[in-house]
Amino acid sequence: MLITFEGIDGCGKTTQIGLLSALMKEIGKDVLTLREPGGTEFSEKIRDLLLHSKDRLTPQSELFLFESARTDLVEKVVKPSLEKGTIVILDRFYDSTTAYQGYGRLIDLSFVKASNEIAISGVKPDVTFFLDIPLEISYERSNHRELDKIEKSGDSFFHRVIEGYKQIAKEEPERIVSIDGAKTKEEIFEIIKEKVKCKLQNEELKIINPN
């Protein structure tokens, strides 16, 4: 099972992933948590370039770097782990590219979608949690630390990213669970826990009764 978390910077993904991964381990599940960009030696190098390099990147070179990091992670880690039956929890996946490079950087959406398809080679999340917060909360939560390159992209960029996420969630209501990220950590985790419980039960039913 592949579970992904999405939302703007500071929306609380890492916090919820920590809680979910601990719970999964507690109930005896084999679970792997990964982040994008990152998760392999090569992808971590790309992450460093994307978030910290002093070079100016064009939107297109940024897009291709995210996709390169993704394809490395998918082929080397995500696919083999899913094949073994491991529950993979990903902090960001291709919806981030649609929201940030498509809606945010204004790269043609059909081009972004095609690039995503190449990078994921058929690997799709079973469920995606979109933690929806307004920009003010994102800024409040990050005001104690230094911002990376993408976080310095400005208000109008982030307003477009937020709208992009809302649109993506509207287009795929079966896969994407939108959650008000301004709720408390505990309230958010309750919603996530219930949804994952349902998914696990359905998966077990499928194993018992494949038809």
Footprint of ligand T5A (CB under 6 A): 7, 9-15, 35-37, 66, 91-92, 96-97, 100-101, 141, 150-151, 184-185, 188
Nearest distance in Å: CB 14, ligand T5A? 3
Which lies closer to ligand T5A via its Cβ, residue 18 or residue 126?
18
Pick the closer one to ligand T5A by CB: 155 or 210: 155
C-alpha–C-alpha distance, residues 46 and 52, integer Å: 10
* 148-181 burial: b if 16+ Cβ within 10 Å, else e: ebbbebeeebbebbbebbeebbeeeeebbbbbeb
Nearest to ligand T5A of 67, 127 (CB atom): 67
CB of 191 to ligand T5A, least distance (A): 11
Contact 36, 70 (CB under 8 A): yes
What is the nearest approach in angstroms of ligand T5A to the Cβ of residue 84? 24
Return the number of the residue (101 or 178) whose C-beta is nearest ligand T5A: 101
Q: In what order do the strands lie in the sheet with 31-35?
A: 31-35, 87-91, 2-6, 127-132, 176-180
